[in-house]
């Protein structure tokens, strides 16, 4: 049994001192002798034929080591491989996605050539000297136009539709025929950019003697990246080492295999020099994956009492010009989570993936689930508005009951555990919901527009059972008790801000009875750490932490045998108590894990048949996903003169099961809410009709500054899961998923007196101001 | 985000800077705080061959503010303006703008002269300095000349500064009843609309008003119609102020971007002008 002094405590993050004092090593901090620098020549057009590339002038610069084009790679060097897409769809169209454009560029920012020089500056200057002649082709940016017909992004496909996936359960037609009310609404979930502080960064080097390629990359998936590099470059996997050092934010955008990672690795092999490439912010906006970008057409059937009986749904998802690693998978997650936390059983859905001349969409914090939560939480509010019911009561009416878990939804997911009503009621009590509604009514009489938005979300994470994943879903942990008693943990997940160097050490400290300072958590290096799947889908602790728990169990079992042997006791009579081993009921003798580890190292006092050493490697295959949930309530005031939105209050009551470090969980929620509310109010990637990116800098594309986010009031409930031995669920994406609809519902609620039913995000002041030009129903003067 | 190659030289005096400007001709740019020029160079929207760094020139930095008037050296940093209690008292509009501009890094590097000489159509100072009817001192080879703010800001990134001139000083009469309010662009935090107002009050009514608007057209402009309509208005009468501020951007070709349309920008000129009037009237 574990004694808990660390688990559940607000231990300060052990990562932070090095991060905040400038002593951390990010990719750009990696210094290797002889390093040369890459710059990419990128397409300035959304769609164009490449008629010629003249590299002579760039190559004539004595500071330039090499220039390669797609043609060079493809023909002269026979690097024909296409970038990978992981999926489980039978009829997915997978056009080739070369690492440097060959003949045709299909998105602004697509890499056309690479220039390598002795400094980043000369590389950039030389890249401007590569003369590329283009013949512009018609571009298509609008998803529906693209779905309808030509021009085609990939002419050879004869269509822009990448896949169509229908789904049906129950009898939606009957439910719609019998409905008291139906609501039809198109909801656009706009394209957003992940904008990690650290853009994509990589440095590759090649040891020709050892035939060993080493790639430092700001990635969330060092092992999966290694595997894909082996395939794409045609190298033995054991000759590739991928290192993710400190990573400055991923948000899903670094859960990928990028063309630049392949090209830079390949060039390092050609030149036998370390090659560094740190993309600029402008390149990051163009060529790092984007998130969301769906049109969700929904139709809801409901009874007069607010009971929702059926949903019809068409998800039209923008793939971008090519598939990246998980591009087509994302909107299928939206469909799977279309239920939210509600129990209706009739659903007819269709997901259509469409190619356009834009950057690929892929996983961005929430990855498909925010879209689902957004439309179902908006739909609940629309039902309430139509039926003149309180949105709280409509939610209450439709919740999956707390005694109905595990609950299998019509879309086929089995929700592990939940108690939605308790969490919502806690939030309503904290924020004094009834008082707020009264205040709203008073203010409306004065021509002031307060809005109260509720979002009761559930999400699917802890990705996930391998059978349900496009790639492996398990993860791994190794624990080594070193001879002098310190403990090394090697985790297969690859934290980049999630704090597992702290939380994993908390778990080990408790379970193995060592001071937390004696535990070191190592990750992100494929030559140090056994294969692991990585950090994404709020899986780090739910899967990687569960593997750690299994490794702890194995260590404890062996340590107990060692202790029992010294005491001539039966191992069954020895147990861990308060972090030490003792004979059950006899505290007179005890042994620490460190002592057992030393005996295991010396090797001469072990029971017969027991191998020396005290270490263990275990893997956890999750039997199911986990389904954290919560209630977010946002209160805003919208200025009727200008449409500006002011936050009045923000409350989140989340439930991610057992908390290992509440402070770190809160940090994840804070960041998640910031990104979620920012989608609701500010963010939007805009391409013009020719595929030119209009929001390509931080002067145009808004990410929230501190002054633009409210104070967050947080609380939680604890509903454990049985999916993993820690009883925990993920919390990395919940804030983003829960917050966007809470903010949108609040803003739209504020505008209810103007007859507003829905406004698409981002809820910019101008849109709100335009809607408020109507005469308000309360008759007050604006 | 990597600028094209350029040379760099430091000027030790105004004379030195003017000499270098003449010497290097059109390829040269003056560098003060660098917070407008350097980002443009990084995006390769500007590629001067020579930067003449004037940041170290002594005697161009400093604020004197009293009831008699305000004089500011062109190299005075935003942060110094934002921290000046005298400025807050004698010209709150400029103090507002300095506090509401950029972020701490920008405020600690950027200068009032550099920001003004850049002529950004969405910058704050062009409106404030027009509302304060500031006088700009320009040093050139043949001596100095003085221009009123309204004569200085000519168009988009265009000012009256000659090729071989530099801005050395900005001066204006004290304007205790002045204010600046700004609608921040959510990304750049430049003004979608910024309204600067300087009032004189008499018997609880507005005796005279200067109103200038930035962020809308190619350059900040004085809203003459609003200025005359405000005369005699009780600044605490919200309806009357609103009526007087209607059409603040009339006749101005408004710009549009992905955040705000031209018509919305124009409508917001009225709203923010009215807010600035109310704030200026209540300034102490």
Q: How many domains does chain B have?
A: 3
| b/e sequence B137-167, b meaning 16+ C-beta within 10 Å | bbbbeeeeeebebbebbeeebebbbeebbbb
What pLDDT score does A142 carry? Answer: 97
* Residues B161 and B235 occupy one common structural domain: no
Do A681 and B186 count as a contact with CB atoms less than 8 A apart? Answer: yes
Residue B221 lies in a domain: yes
What pLDDT score does B283 carry? Answer: 81
Say whether pLDDT at A782 is over 50: no
Question: Can you list the alpha helix ranges (DSSP code H) found in A209-328?
Answer: 222-233, 259-271, 281-287
* Residues B48 and B89 occupy one common structural domain: no
Record the tokens describing residue A291, joined without a space.
């998130």
Q: For A88-109, how does the pLDDT look when each residue is reduced to its tens digit (9 = 90+)?
A: 888 999 999 999 999 999 999 9
Q: How confident is the model at residue A781 (pLDDT cuts 50, 70, 90)?
A: very low
Q: B172, B205, B224: which is the final residue of a domain?
A: B172
* Residues B96 and B182 occupy one common structural domain: no
**Which chain B residue is nearest to residue A279, measuring alpha carbons?**
B1
Helix (H) or strand (E) segment spanning residue A420: helix A420-431
| Contact (Cβ atoms closer than 8 angstroms) between residue A508 and residue A548 | yes
Q: For A497-515, how does the pLDDT look when each residue is reduced to its tens digit (9 = 90+)?
A: 999 999 999 999 999 999 9
Residue B139 lies in a domain: yes
Question: φ, ψ for residue B215 (rounded to 5)?
Answer: 95, -10
Helix (H) or strand (E) segment spanning residue B9: strand B7-10
Record the tokens describing residue A304, joined without a space.
């007069």
Q: For A718-754, how does the pLDDT look when each residue is reduced to its tens digit (9 = 90+)?
A: 999 999 999 999 999 999 999 999 999 999 999 999 9
Helix (H, G, I), strand (E, B) or coil at A497: coil
Do A698 and B187 count as a contact with CB atoms less than 8 A apart? Answer: yes
Place of tokens 């940093």: B77
What domains appear along chain A, each with residue ranges and CATH number? 16-22+474-620 (3.30.365.10), 32-137+197-249+254-287 (3.90.1170.50), 291-464+624-771 (3.30.365.10)
- Say how far apart CA A756 and CA A762 lie, in whole Å: 15
* Residues B11 and B101 occupy one common structural domain: no
**Which chain B residue is nearest to residue A781, measuring alpha carbons?**
B239
Residue among A37, A79, A73 at smallest CA distance from A53: A73
What pLDDT score does A774 carry? Answer: 81
Q: How confident is the model at residue A3 (pLDDT cuts 50, 70, 90)?
A: low
* Chain B hits for A121, Cβ within 8 Å: 2, 5
**CATH number of the domain enclosing B150:** 3.30.465.10
| Contact (Cβ atoms closer than 8 angstroms) between residue B279 and residue B181 | yes
* Residues B166 and B236 occupy one common structural domain: no
State the pairing for strand pair B7-10/B50-53.
parallel
Q: B172, B194, B223: which is the final residue of a domain?
A: B172
What pLDDT score does A76 carry? Answer: 77
Indicate which of A448, A646, A763, A765 best probes the interface with B, i.e. most B CBs within 10 Å of its own CB: A765
Q: From start to end of A2-110, where are the E strands? A: 36-42, 48-54, 64-69, 104-105
Do B187 and A699 count as a contact with CB atoms less than 8 A apart? Answer: yes
* Residues B70 and B160 occupy one common structural domain: yes
| Contact (Cβ atoms closer than 8 angstroms) between residue B167 and residue B234 | no
| Contact (Cβ atoms closer than 8 angstroms) between residue A212 and residue A265 | no
Q: What average pLDDT does range A432-452 have in this prediction?
A: 97
- Say how far apart CA A377 and CA A333 lie, in whole Å: 16
Averaged pLDDT of chain A: 96
* A487 Cβ neighbours under 8 A, 6+ residues apart: A479, A480, A481, A508, A512, A514, A518, A519, A520, A593
Q: For A170-216, how does the pLDDT look when each residue is reduced to its tens digit (9 = 90+)?
A: 999 999 999 999 999 999 999 999 999 999 999 999 999 999 999 99
Chain B touched by A350 (CB under 8 Å): no
**CATH number of the domain enclosing B187:** 3.30.390.50
Which residues of B have a CB under 8 Å from any CB of A? 1-2, 4-5, 43, 103, 183, 185-190, 257-261, 264, 267-268, 271-272
- Say how far apart CA A750 and CA A439 lie, in whole Å: 12
Q: How confident is the model at residue A778 (pLDDT cuts 50, 70, 90)?
A: low
Name the burial class of residue A438, with classes exposed (0-12), middle (13-18) and buried (19+) by CB atoms within 10 angstroms of its CB: exposed
Q: For A345-375, how does the pLDDT look when each residue is reduced to its tens digit (9 = 90+)?
A: 999 999 999 999 999 999 999 999 999 999 9
**CATH number of the domain enclosing B37:** 3.30.43.10
What pLDDT score does A779 carry? Answer: 46
* Residues B216 and B139 occupy one common structural domain: no
* Residues B67 and B168 occupy one common structural domain: yes
Whole-model pTM: value is 0.96
Do A769 and B1 count as a contact with CB atoms less than 8 A apart? Answer: no
| A682, A686, A769 member nearest B264 (Cβ) | A769
Q: B151, B172, B193: which is the final residue of a domain?
A: B172
Q: How confident is the model at residue B284 (pLDDT cuts 50, 70, 90)?
A: low
* Residues B67 and B37 occupy one common structural domain: no
| CA A62 to each of CA A33, A55, A65, A737: distance values in angstroms, whole numbers, following the listed order | 20, 13, 8, 52
| Contact (Cβ atoms closer than 8 angstroms) between residue A661 and residue A503 | yes
Q: What average pLDDT does range A569-576 have in this prediction?
A: 96
Q: Which domain holds residue B47?
A: 7-53
ipTM greater than 0.85: yes
Say whether pLDDT at A294 is over 70: yes
| Contact (Cβ atoms closer than 8 angstroms) between residue A381 and residue A748 | yes
Residue B1 lies in a domain: no
Do B268 and A642 count as a contact with CB atoms less than 8 A apart? Answer: yes
Residue among A518, A489, A521, A520 at smallest CA distance from A592: A518
**Which chain B residue is nearest to residue A700, measuring alpha carbons?**
B187
Q: Nearest C-alpha of chain A: how many angstroms from B186?
A: 6
Q: For A611-635, how does the pLDDT look when each residue is reduced to its tens digit (9 = 90+)?
A: 999 999 999 999 999 999 999 999 9
Q: How confident is the model at residue A1 (pLDDT cuts 50, 70, 90)?
A: very low
Residue B58 lies in a domain: no
Q: Nearest C-alpha of chain A: how many angstroms from B79?
A: 18
| b/e sequence A688-718, b meaning 16+ C-beta within 10 Å | eeebbbebbbbbbbbbbeeebbbebebebbe
* Residues B151 and B225 occupy one common structural domain: no
* Residues B275 and B196 occupy one common structural domain: yes
Q: What average pLDDT does range A249-275 have in this prediction?
A: 97
What pLDDT score does B168 carry? Answer: 97
What pLDDT score does B100 carry? Answer: 95
Q: For B120-173, how does the pLDDT look when each residue is reduced to its tens digit (9 = 90+)?
A: 999 999 999 999 999 999 999 889 999 999 999 999 999 999 989 999 999 999
Q: For A391-430, how does the pLDDT look when each residue is reduced to its tens digit (9 = 90+)?
A: 999 999 999 999 999 999 999 999 999 999 999 999 999 9
Chain B touched by A642 (CB under 8 Å): yes
Do A642 and B271 count as a contact with CB atoms less than 8 A apart? Answer: yes
* Residues B165 and B70 occupy one common structural domain: yes
What pLDDT score does A5 carry? Answer: 87
Residue B2 lies in a domain: no
Q: What average pLDDT does range A137-141 have in this prediction?
A: 98
Residue among A462, A252, A454 at smallest CA distance from A373: A454
């Amino acid at each position: 049994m574990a004694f808990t002094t660390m688990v559940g405590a607000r231990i300060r993050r052990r990562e932070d001192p090095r991060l905040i004092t400038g002593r951390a090593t990010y990719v750009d901090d990696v210094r290797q002798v002889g390093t040369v620098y890459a710059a990419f020549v990128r397409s300035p057009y959304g769609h164009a034929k490449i008629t010629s590339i003249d590299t002579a002038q760039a190559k004539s610069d004595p500071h330039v080591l090499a220039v390669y084009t797609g043609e060079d790679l493809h023909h002269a060097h026979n690097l024909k491989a296409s970038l990978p897409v992981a999926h489980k769809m039978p009829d997915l169209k997978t056009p080739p996605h070369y690492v440097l454009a060959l003949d045709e560029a299909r998105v602004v920012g697509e890499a056309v050539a690479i220039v390598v020089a002795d400094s980043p500056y000369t590389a950039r200057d030389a890249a401007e000297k590569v003369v590329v002649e283009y013949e512009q082709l018609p571009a298509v940016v609008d998803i529906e136009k693209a779905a309808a017909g030509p021009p085609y992004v990939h002419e050879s496909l004869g269509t822009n539709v990448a896949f169509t996936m229908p789904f049906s359960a129950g009898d939606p037609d009957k439910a719609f025929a019998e409905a008291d009310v139906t609501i039809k609404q198109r909801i656009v979930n706009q394209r957003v950019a992940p904008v990690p502080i650290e853009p994509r960064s990589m440095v590759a080097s090649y040891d020709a003697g050892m035939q060993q390629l080493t790639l430092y990359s700001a990635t969330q998936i060092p092992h999966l990246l290694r595997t894909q590099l082996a395939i794409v470059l045609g190298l033995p996997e054991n000759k590739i080492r991928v290192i993710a050092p400190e990573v400055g934010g991923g948000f899903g955008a670094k859960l990928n295999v990028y063309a630049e990672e392949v090209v830079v690795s390949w060039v390092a092999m050609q030149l036998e020099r370390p090659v560094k490439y740190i993309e600029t912010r402008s390149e990051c906006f163009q060529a790092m994956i984007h998130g969301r970008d769906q049109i969700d057409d929904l139709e809801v059937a409901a009874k007069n009492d607010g009971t929702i009986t059926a949903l019809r749904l068409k998800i039209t998802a923008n793939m971008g010009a090519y598939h990246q690693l998980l591009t087509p998978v994302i909107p299928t997650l939206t469909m799977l989570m279309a239920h939210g936390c509600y129990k209706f059983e009739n659903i007819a859905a269709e997901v259509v993936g469409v190619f356009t001349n834009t950057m690929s969409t892929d996983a961005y914090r929430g990855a498909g689930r925010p879209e689902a939560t957004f439309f179902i939480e908006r739909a609940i509010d629309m039902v309430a508005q139509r039926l003149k019911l309180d949105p709280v009561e409509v939610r209450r009416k439709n919740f999956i009951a707390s005694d109905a878990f595990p609950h299998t939804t019509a879309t086929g997911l089995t929700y592990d555990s939940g108690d939605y009503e308790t969490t919502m009621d806690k939030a309503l009590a904290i924020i004094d919901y009834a008082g707020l509604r009264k205040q709203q009514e008073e203010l409306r009489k004065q021509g002031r527009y307060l809005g109260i938005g509720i979002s009761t979300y559930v999400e699917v994470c802890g990705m996930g059972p391998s059978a349900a994943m496009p790639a492996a879903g398990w993860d791994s942990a190794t624990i080594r008790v070193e001879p002098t008693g310190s403990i090394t943990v090697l985790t297969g997940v690859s934290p980049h801000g999630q704090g597992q160097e702290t939380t994993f050490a908390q778990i080990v400290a408790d379970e193995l009875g060592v001071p937390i300072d004696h535990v070191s958590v190592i990750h992100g290096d494929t030559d140090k750490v056994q294969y692991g799947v990585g950090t994404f889908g709020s899986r780090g602790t739910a899967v990687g932490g569960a593997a750690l728990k299994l490794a702890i169990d194995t260590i404890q079992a062996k340590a107990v045998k060692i202790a029992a042997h010294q005491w001539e006791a039966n191992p069954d009579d020895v147990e861990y108590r308060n972090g030490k081993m003792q004979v059950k009921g006899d505290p007179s003798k005890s042994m620490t894990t460190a002592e057992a580890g030393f005996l295991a190292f010396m090797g001469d006092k072990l029971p017969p048949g027991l191998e020396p050493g005290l270490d263990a490697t275990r893997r956890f295959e999750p039997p199911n996903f986990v389904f954290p949930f919560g209630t977010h309530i946002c209160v805003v005031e919208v200025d009727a003169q200008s449409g500006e939105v002011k936050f009045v209050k923000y409350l989140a009551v989340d439930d991610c099961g057992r908390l290992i470090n509440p402070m770190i969980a809160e940090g994840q929620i804070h960041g998640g809410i910031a990104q979620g509310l920012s989608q609701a109010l500010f963010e939007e990637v805009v391409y013009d009709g020719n595929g030119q990116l209009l929001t390509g800098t931080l002067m145009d594309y808004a990410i929230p500054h501190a002054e633009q986010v409210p104070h967050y009031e947080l609380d939680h409930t604890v509903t454990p899961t049985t999916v993993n031995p820690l009883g925990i669920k993920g919390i990395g994406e919940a804030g983003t998923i829960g917050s966007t609809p809470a903010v949108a519902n609040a803003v739209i609620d504020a505008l209810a007196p103007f007859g507003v039913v829905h406004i698409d995000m981002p809820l910019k002041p101008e849109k709100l101001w335009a809607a408020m030009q109507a005469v308000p129903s309360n008759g007050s003067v604006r | 985000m990597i600028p094209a190659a350029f040379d760099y030289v430091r000027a030790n005096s105004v004379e030195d800077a003017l000499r270098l400007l003449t010497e290097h001709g059109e390829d040269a740019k003056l560098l003060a705080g660098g917070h407008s020029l350097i980002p443009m160079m990084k995006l390769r929207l500007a590629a001067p061959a020579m930067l003449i760094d004037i940041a170290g020139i002594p005697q161009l930095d400093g604020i004197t503010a009293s009831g008699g008037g305000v004089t500011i050296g062109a190299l005075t940093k935003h942060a110094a303006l934002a921290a000046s209690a005298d400025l807050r008292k004698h010209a709150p509009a400029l103090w507002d703008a300095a506090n509401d501009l950029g972020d701490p890094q920008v405020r600690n590097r950027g200068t009032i002269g550099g920001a003004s000489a850049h002529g950004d159509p969405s910058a704050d100072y062009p409106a404030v300095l027009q509302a304060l009817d500031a006088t700009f001192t320009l040093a050139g080879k043949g001596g100095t000349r003085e221009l009123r703010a309204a004569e200085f800001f000519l168009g988009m990134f265009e000012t009256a500064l000659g090729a071989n001139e530099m801005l050395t000083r900005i001066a204006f009469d004290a304007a205790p009843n002045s204010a600046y309010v700004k609608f921040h662009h959510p990304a750049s935090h430049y003004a979608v609309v910024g309204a600067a107002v300087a009032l004189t009050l008499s018997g609880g009514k507005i005796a005279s008003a200067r109103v200038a608007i930035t962020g809308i057209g190619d350059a900040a402009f004085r809203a003459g119609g609003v200025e005359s309509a405000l005369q005699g208005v009780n600044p605490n009468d919200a309806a009357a102020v609103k009526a007087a501020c209607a059409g603040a951007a009339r006749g101005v070709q408004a710009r549009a971007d992905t955040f705000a349309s031209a018509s919305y920008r124009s409508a917001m000129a009225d709203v923010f002008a009215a807010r600035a009037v109310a704030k200026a009237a209540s300034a102490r």
